[in-house]
Amino acid sequence: MNEEVLFTVTKDSLETGLRGVPVGYCVTSSVHPENGLFYAGRPINEICSWEPEKVIDLLFRGREGREEEVTAFAHELKKRAPLDIRVGEAIDRLPREGHPMALFSAALLILGMFEQTGDYREDALHLIAKAPEVAARVIHRHAGWGKTPLPDLNAGYMESFFHLLQVPEKKESLKEVLQLFNVLHYDHGGGNLSAFVGKAVASGLEDLFGSLAAAMNALAGPRHGRANQECLHFVEESLESLGASASSEEVEHYIRERLSRKELIYGFGHAVLRVEDPRATLQYSLAQKEYGDHPLVRMALLIREAGTKVLKENPKINNPYPNVDAISGSLLTAAGFPYPEYYTVLFGLSRVVGIAIQIVYERCEAREGKGTPIVRPKYLYKKREI
């Protein structure tokens, strides 16, 4: 029996979103307040330029795969990629009203109706392999961009998504940005809301597709995955108010004014991190290198400096640094994907990877293979004062 005390629950820990309360193990990734994100023990900046298949293999395996293992894994994903024709047809008939994340979540349920085996591990591989076409179809259906082409079975995982995505006036350089975005968003520890929700739903023995659809509904909230869309609007608004040649002093003044009006500054802070999110740092570098002259990128870089400076002055703010969403929308726009409504679908396309693998661990491996029990925390009764 291991009785080490990891956390003491007091009344002050209640109604805090379980902040800091350990509830289990995560075998895929971890988030350190100062050092950021690690996939299977490797810092994200060490592996962000690997091929997506190699990173997914790392998350599945928990160690770097040997060359022949990664090749076999990539082949396995390719083999599983084609969608049952009925899945494609059903996605192409989904209602177009509402946010695209509603369609993405519905599309995962449809995938489960036709392609589920009932084995979590098999279904996780199926889902990950098919997710690029599902996401592309959802975007095309919602945007009205016409038919989704057939997958290119010779292309790599994200190359295939790039091929499937029918963006008007598509630029070749978008491929690099989509790939980096995809690799950076696979996983973020065990306790982010969508991973936690997906595992909680799976703990009732809901199948993998239903659990992932629930996880995607969690990701769709503006405090979680949809923050990337809101952040771009903030950068756009700042640009509109200050103009393309704004100075750093003007941006700082603008931020102070917003704060004095109690308006939000988007793209800063994180529940765990206490430094700039390394996923943001990597995207800032690419943005600066490739699209430094783009007005949105220039503004996002000015906000990075000014926002941090101003927020740091408030001792109540425990993380005054940019998070992953601060720059992703500006980078995607500069690279030729100026469609913020779909940014959370891109996040979802990536995050299904980490959540699916975490569910496989909890259902098939945890507690010597017995799996974790149904999630059932305790709530204390409180009489409401009316």
Give residues in contact with ligand MLT (CB under 6 A).
188, 192, 270-271, 324
**What is the DSSP annotation of 133-197?**
HHHHHHHHHHHT--PPPPP-TTS-HHHHHHHH---TT--TTHHHHHHHHHHHTS---S-SHHHHH
The owner of tokens 């009925």 is 86
Q: In what order do the strands lie in the sheet with 29-32?
A: 29-32, 36-39, 42-43
Contact criterion met (CB below 8 Å) for 337 and 174: yes
Answer yes or no: 224 catalytic.
Answer: yes
Question: By C-beta, is 140 or 188 nearer to ligand MLT?
Answer: 188
Question: By C-beta, is 164 or 324 nearer to ligand MLT?
Answer: 324
User: Buried (b) or exposed (e) across 152-177, using 16+ Cβ within 10 A?
Assistant: eeebbbbbbbbbbbebeeeeeebbeb
Question: By C-beta, is 87 or 265 nearer to ligand MLT?
Answer: 265
Dist CA 153 CA 279 (whole Å): 30
Smallest distance from ligand MLT to CB 270, Å: 6
Contact criterion met (CB below 8 Å) for 109 and 209: yes
DSSP 37: E
Dist CA 9 CA 19 (whole Å): 11
Rounded to a whole number, what is the largest CA-CA distance in the chain?
66
3-state secondary structure of 30: strand
Residue 214 burial (CB < 10 Å; 0-12/13-18/19+)? buried
Question: By C-beta, is 295 or 348 nearer to ligand MLT?
Answer: 348
Torsion angle (degrees, nearest 10) of CA 99, 200, 179, 319:
90
Smallest distance from ligand MLT to CB 37, Å: 8
Smallest distance from ligand MLT to CB 119, Å: 27
Smallest distance from ligand MLT to CB 353, Å: 12
- Closest by Cα among 15, 19, 100 to 270: 19
Q: Find the catalytic residue in 270, 277, 293, 294.
A: 270
Question: By C-beta, is 203 or 228 nearer to ligand MLT?
Answer: 228
In the beta sheet, which residues pair with residue 42?
39
Question: By C-beta, is 210 or 225 nearer to ligand MLT?
Answer: 225
Residue 245 burial (CB < 10 Å; 0-12/13-18/19+)? exposed
Answer yes or no: 185 catalytic.
Answer: no
Question: By C-beta, is 53 or 325 nearer to ligand MLT?
Answer: 325
Dist CA 258 CA 270 (whole Å): 20
Smallest distance from ligand MLT to CB 187, Å: 8
Answer yes or no: 140 catalytic.
Answer: no
Smallest distance from ligand MLT to CB 357, Å: 15
Smallest distance from ligand MLT to CB 164, Å: 24
Q: φ and ψ at 335, to 5 degrees?
A: -85, 0
Catalytically active residues, by annotation: 224, 270, 325
